Chain A
Amino acid sequence: NAGVMQNPRHLVRRRGQEARLRCSPMKGHSHVYWYRQLPEEGLKFMVYLQKENIIDESGMPKERFSAEFPKEGPSILRIQQVVRGDSAAYFCASSNYRDRGHEQYFGPGTRLTVT
């Protein structure tokens, strides 16, 4: 049962370093969403991607954050020059096609700690 896979599960970075988070969607799913969960807060939408396209990045901070979903390989969420406030759990979700976008299946998350 190949669910949504994320790696690494835990990532520690020093301030100023780059963090790369990877997400492989469920088999047959071509729509990927990234969410961030801060302590004591709900999940917040960041970006929605299809293969080779960013469809909506309205939840992404304007600077230092970028995402991609190449034709081959996993989706990548990249955070440049990390700061302590970036420490959070980052979850990836996938759905099988646009009209069923409300049925999103989540991965186990990557917990980023910035020291």
Chain B
Amino acid sequence: QKEVEQDPGPLSVPEGAIVSLNCTYSNSAFQYFMWYRQYSRKGPELLMYTYSSGNKEDGRFTAQVDKSSKYISLFIRDSQPSDSATYLCAMSRMNTGFQKLVFGTGTRLLVSP
């Protein structure tokens, strides 16, 4: 079983829709939860991160973490065609040293005009 599970999609939505992207994980030691956006043939771009449980909002993006369910979500409001990309969740443990990121396989999102 993978440490982080993510539905590969593709997820197709019309422009303006609210998008929900999700990951589940198995390791309760994860404390930091990140969302990256990756356009085709490009490097991942850090969108936002959350420490422990709770919500975090940044513009049209909201990240939620439910540690009791080992479930994290990214919501995108008023989705735009430019949001079409692969969205990767990533997690890391609370170490005193460096933090190795463990990634999901990514969900491909397609927003049609």
Contact = CB atoms under 8 A, between A and B. Distances in A.
Contact of B4 (A4, A42, A59, A93): A42
B2 to A, nearest CB: 8
Given A42-B4, A42-B106, A102-B34, A48 B46 contact: no
B44 A55 contact: no
Contacts of A45: 100-102
A108 B42 contact: yes
Interface string A69-93: 0000000000000000000000101
Interface residues of B, number: 26
Interface string B49-67: 1000000000000000000
Contact of A43 (B92, B98, B101): B101
A56 B44 contact: no
Of B8, B34, B97, the most chain A CB neighbours within 10 A belong to B97
Nearest to B43: A106
A106 B44 contact: yes
Contacts of B76: none
